[in-house]
Amino acid sequence: INADNGAPTIFDKIIAKEIPSTIVYEDDKVLAFKDISPQAPVHVLVIPKFRDGLTQLGKAEQRHGVILGQLLYAARIVAEKEGILDGFRVVINNGPSACQSVYHLHLHVLGGRQMKWPPG
Ligand code: 5GP
């Protein structure tokens, strides 16, 4: 199981395009790409290009406010591009007990099927 040890993650390779991914949205600060193991018809990950200490949301500091807002807005752009603006879910898994597996902050944008709550 992965730990939050500050080491580079697979997402650095995706950002550097050393590992292929299906990019849905990209700007200078944010990258959104399809999850390799989709849990819904639409499942896109939205990540900051510069991790800057944001291994997990629990490590956020006030200075991260701008990028956190940009990530959330990018989730909305992704939802529109994927045609799920009428209903979508944004999830952040934080830490081992939430099953976070990659320690580079990421938003899951999920949609295209009826969501249930709680997810279980
Ligand atoms: P977490 O469990 O940390 O919240 O989410 C990590 C997500 O990254 C998982 O949904 C997993 O499927 C996805 N993922 C892991 N490795 C890769 C990869 O190499 N490419 C892509 N596109 N997604 C990945």
pLDDT (tens digit per residue) in 70-102: 999 999 999 999 999 999 999 999 999 999 999
Q: 3-state secondary structure string, the chain?
A: CCCCCCCCCHHHHHHCCCCCCCEEEECCCEEEEECCCCCCCEEEEEEECCCCCCCCHHHCCHHHHHHHHHHHHHHHHHHHHCCCCCCEEEECCCCHHHCCCCCCCCEEEEECCCCCCCCC
Please tell me the total count of domains within the chain: 1
Domain harbouring 27, CATH code: 3.30.428.10
Is 3 part of a structural domain of the chain? no
Say whether pLDDT at 119 is over 90: no
CA R_g for the chain? 14
Mean pLDDT of 32-43: 98
Q: What share of the chain in percent tops pLDDT 70?
A: 98
- The answer to pTM > 0.90 is yes
The reply to whether 108 belongs to the active site is: no
20: domain range?
10-111
ipTM rounded to 2 decimals: 0.99
Q: In this structure, how many other beta carbons lie within 10 angstroms of the beta carbon of residue 13?
A: 13
Is 120 part of a structural domain of the chain? no
**Confidence category of residue 118, pLDDT binned at 50, 70, 90:** confident
Which of 18, 25, 37, 100 to probe ligand 1 with, by most ligand atoms within 8 A of CB? Answer: 37
